[in-house]
Every structure is written in structure tokens, then in C-alpha cells.
Amino acid sequence: MKRFYNQIRDNKVYLVYTPLVLYWILLAIATSIPTQNFPKLFTASDKVEHLIAYFGLALLFSLSLHFQQKNKFLSKKYFLATIIIISSYGLLDEFHQYFIPGRFFDMFDWLANFIGTFIGSSITYLFIKKNSQHYSSA
């Protein structure tokens, strides 16, 4: 597992930053498509889809904050920063959907976004805590 952590750290541009940007763009596009034009990819509940989408976003975002070196505060406080930033984005995205035909603002969607964000951030926190030599409290 330590080796996997080191590979991610050493190749963060290709394994974290680029996938984060592409994933976030894809998520933004997907939430901007009117529902009647959007293909149903899963038979799961809408809330499960929100949870999974924000779980992935939180994983990548928290890794990017942890591995970046320009802002030491964000690098150390990546867990809390991820929850605040991604949850805020999820809320803004729900407001944004109010203006998309066939979509609407749903507080339960945001709650699913938040839960996915919390789970994704928590898994990343545990992974980093277990594998980082330079670990300091999040």
C-alpha cells in the first residue's frame, strides 16, 4: 500500500490532477444536460448516483490538495478543505440545476452529494494516514 501511495505522489499530475480536471468537467457537463436528453446509465436511485459522483470527486480533490505543494495549509487541512469546497460546489450545482429544463433543486440530492463527499474524503484520509511518512493531523 505504501508503494501505491508513493506511485500516486510521484505521478500526481497523471494520476490525480488530470483525472480530477477531466472528472469535474464531465460532472459539470452531465449536470447541465436536461434530463430528457440524459441517458440513464444506472438503474440505481438518483441519490445513489449523486453519492457515487461526489465520492469520486472528493477522492480526487482531497488527494490533489494533499499532494500539492503551493499551499501548506491546504496540504495539511485537505480533509476539512475538501468537505467545505466540494460540499459547497454540490450546493451550487443544485442551484444551477434549477435553471436546466427537467432538473430541479433538491436538498436531498445535496445531502447525497455531502455524504459522498464525506465518505470519499474519509477514505482518502485513512489511506494517507496509513501511508504518508510526512503525515500531520488533518
**37-76 pLDDT tens trace:** 666 666 668 899 999 999 999 999 999 999 999 999 999 9
Is 95 within a domain?
A: yes
Structural contact between residues 94 and 110, judged by C-beta atoms closer than 8 angstroms: yes
Is 123 within a domain?
A: yes
At residue 65, the pLDDT reads: 98
Looking at residue 14, the DSSP 8-state letter turns out to be I
CB atoms within 10 A of CB 121: 26
Structural domain count, the chain: 1
At residue 135, the pLDDT reads: 46
Is 112 within a domain?
A: yes
Is 126 within a domain?
A: yes
Looking at residue 102, the DSSP 8-state letter turns out to be T
At residue 136, the pLDDT reads: 46
Is 138 within a domain?
A: no
At residue 95, the pLDDT reads: 93
Structural contact between residues 112 and 47, judged by C-beta atoms closer than 8 angstroms: yes
Exposed, middle or buried by CB within 10 Å (0-12, 13-18, 19+), for 59?
buried
Is 42 within a domain?
A: no
Cell of 127: 489511506
Measure the CA–CA gap between 86 and 50, rounded to whole angstroms.
12
Q: Please give the residue range of the domain that contains residue 65.
A: 2-33+48-131
Prediction pTM value = 0.89
Is 137 within a domain?
A: no
At residue 111, the pLDDT reads: 97
Please identify every stretch of the chain with a pLDDT value under 50, giving residue numbers as ranges: 135-138
Is 9 within a domain?
A: yes
At residue 126, the pLDDT reads: 97
At residue 58, the pLDDT reads: 98
